[in-house]
Structure 1
């Protein structure tokens, strides 16, 4: 979920929404997420990894800090915070997405996927009718 801040990824999402007229964007995070674990580890030991892993950790760290500030400490709670943060970040960075959500033409949801049993839990919903999205 946290790797969607790049311009090329945003461009792909905007293409799907504005050109293909997709009515729903799903941000799907999963448990046992290495990016979340790496960010937590970097915060705990004070060492930021090198290479491109640093980019991943830097994108996830704000979500970890926000979760902890809200008293959300477990891996599942931190993941949910990160998924929700990613949904909101997409809306902040993309005028196309924000306008379509405001116009009622687009829904965005964040789901947390459990690898063990294949279930997904809704953790964030923006736009359209939330009743439709959560049904």
Structure 2
């Protein structure tokens, strides 16, 4: 499992879910595609993508270590792991039915992250970090 990160976005090599940074300078300016109502720190956004990768892997259904890792990542997000699984399942179902995902707090479609001019500039293009999972 690998999370690819730039200063403004994070993607997974195993899932269509992503994290993006909102305009702003606060520490809590990250959002997850599947948990867009909550403002998150960078650490929480990484944990959310890792949680998604763990839940999305059918080989880990009966893996007790994976279950503990899922609970750990959910704790970092400040939610119960069962709620995280439900949110991810809803996103998967909506995507499979071709529904446009909506962020209630933003009041509009969540088709792709809205990047600021700074994020679209040359600085954001070059640097991609690999965040290894725990």
TM-score, normalized by the shorter chain, greater than 0.5: no
For the pair shown, which has the larger CA radius of gyration, 1 or 2? Answer: 1
- Structure with more helix by fraction: 1
